[in-house]
Amino acid sequence: MNANDNETLNAGQTSRRKVLGAGGAVGLTLMAPGGVLAQAADANVLRVGFISPRTGPLAGFGEADGYVLDLARKALASGLTIGGRKFSVEILDRDTQSDPARASQLAKALISNDKVDLVLVTSAPETVNPVSDACEAAGVPCLSTIMPWEAWYFGRGAKPGEPSPFKWSFHFSFGVKEFLDCYVSQWSQIPNNKKVAALLPNDADGNAIRGSLAPALQKAGYTIVDAGPYETGTTDFSAQISKFKAEKCELFVTFPIPPDFATFWRQSAQQGFTKQIKIAQVAKTGLFPSTVEALGPLGFNLSSGCYWHKTFPYKSTLTGVTGAQLADGYEASSKKQWNQQLGASMSLIDLGVEALKASSNPKDKAAVAKSLGSLKVTTMMGTIDFTKGPVPNVATSVLIGTQWVKAAAGAKHRYEYVITENSGDRNIPVASKLLPYA
């Protein structure tokens, strides 16, 4: 029953109101939307928004989210008891369609219309930053992951050495140090001339990497050949390829969206650049089976930094599933190959639930924000500790070296995703040495 329905009812039943008197009026008030009973019921419901790209150019990031959300909802079916009160929990998931403007609109709608108590968001600046900004402006706690933390923190206006401008938004993910350690460890396994071809887009990821990782690699002894920022959707990379070939680069690093990388890599093969590459290190693209399989044979031996693998020796705090159980369950359910976002999305939900539980009053947004800032939890991605930085509102996660190799004959899938180095966490098992790309 909405406001218009109430008006019609009242207009047509004057005599009945007189009969009911004051007791009837109270009863109608209690039952009406926004009345005392409705408010009481709402006070015992926790609403959590979950925003990710399920379709569009970044769809690989959200491909497995439906399965993870099903597991989380089953684990939360009996509700949560926090501070002596029993709460039911609703997870409201939304698809950004890989559109930053839509991501912002979805967050605002969850805040204004659905009255969420917490927003969880994952996967790339195009998704994470606009949602974080919307929550920050509205005073709603927000937890995000899977994009370089520098692109989240500095890309949203924070300044080095200054106090954090953020009160409501928090982020856990890898950063420049994790990329640097992983890449140097990977690249030391194969002799090379230390000349790095860098294909970096003109976006939050590309600019953050250009301003931080590139200088760090130079300091580590590598020569960076930066072809300059390019715009998303570029269809001709001939100029960049020519420069990389002329400089005789044997290492390659990139942070594009998957469609742009597919275009670049096919053109690189056509123009002979891939033949001189000893290690092709990709990020943001080439993370999931679907995006690698789209490359055909050009995807074999691509290297990447991995933020979760099914062999990580950790469990979900909410569901209790291990990495192997999560991956195997997804494959059985979807008939698709497991991917690393499974563990990341599960960890995001785990941390969100832990923050609600630690707040003592999850309907108090300030209390939830405070608990986010002090979380220290071992998730499927490893230990996430907001108490030690590297900057306020940020906790780091590990990044390990991996490679897409040709699966053995008779295997279920064409590619196998193997761990080649574990400098970020020695508890994670290494499966094989890095193979040269060409």
What CATH code would you report for 177-307+400-421?
3.40.50.2300
Which tens digit of pLDDT belongs to each residue from 5-21? 443 334 444 444 443 44
Nearest Cα residue to 227 out of 215, 212, 245: 245
pLDDT of residue 204: 86
Spatial neighbors of 315 by CB under 8 A, at least 6 apart, are: 321, 322, 380
Average pLDDT estimate for 125-145: 98
What's the rounded Cα separation, in Å, for the pair 421 and 419? 6
- CB neighbours (10 Å) of residue 332? 9
Q: Report yes or no: 250 and 192 within 8 Å, Cβ to Cβ.
A: yes
Nearest Cα residue to 72 out of 349, 382, 357: 349
What's the rounded Cα separation, in Å, for the pair 355 and 169? 13
- CB neighbours (10 Å) of residue 282? 24
Average pLDDT estimate for 73-81: 97
pLDDT of residue 34: 52
pLDDT band at 183 (very low <50, low <70, confident <90, very high): very high
pLDDT of residue 13: 42
Whether 28 shows a pLDDT value over 70: the answer reads: no
**Judging by DSSP bridges, how do beta strands 303-306 and 400-406 pair with one another?**
antiparallel
Burial group, residue 193, by CB count within 10 angstroms (0-12, 13-18, 19+): middle
Instruction: Assign 290 to helix, strand or coil.
Output: helix
CATH topology agreement for domains 42-174+311-331+339-396 and 177-307+400-421: yes
**Residue ranges per domain, the chain?**
3-41, 42-174+311-331+339-396, 177-307+400-421
pLDDT of residue 10: 40
Whether 277 shows a pLDDT value over 70: the answer reads: yes
Spatial neighbors of 183 by CB under 8 A, at least 6 apart, are: 217, 253, 281, 305, 401
Average pLDDT estimate for 214-240: 96
Lowest-confidence segment of 24-33, 80-89, 156-165 by average pLDDT:
24-33
pLDDT of residue 27: 45
Percent of the chain scoring above 70 in pLDDT: 91
Q: Strand runs (DSSP E) across 53-194, as ranges? A: 80-82, 85-95, 118-122, 142-145, 169-173
pLDDT band at 167 (very low <50, low <70, confident <90, very high): very high
pLDDT of residue 433: 94
Whether 1 shows a pLDDT value over 60: the answer reads: no
Q: Report yes or no: 148 and 175 within 8 Å, Cβ to Cβ.
A: yes
* Per-chain mean pLDDT for the chain: 91
Longest dimension (CA), the chain: 92
Whether 305 shows a pLDDT value over 50: the answer reads: yes
Average pLDDT estimate for 160-168: 95
The domain at 42-174+311-331+339-396 falls in which architecture? 3-Layer(aba) Sandwich (3.40)
Residue whose tokens read 């409501």: 168
What's the rounded Cα separation, in Å, for the pair 153 and 331? 35
Spatial neighbors of 134 by CB under 8 A, at least 6 apart, are: 104, 107, 108, 111
What's the rounded Cα separation, in Å, for the pair 376 and 7? 52
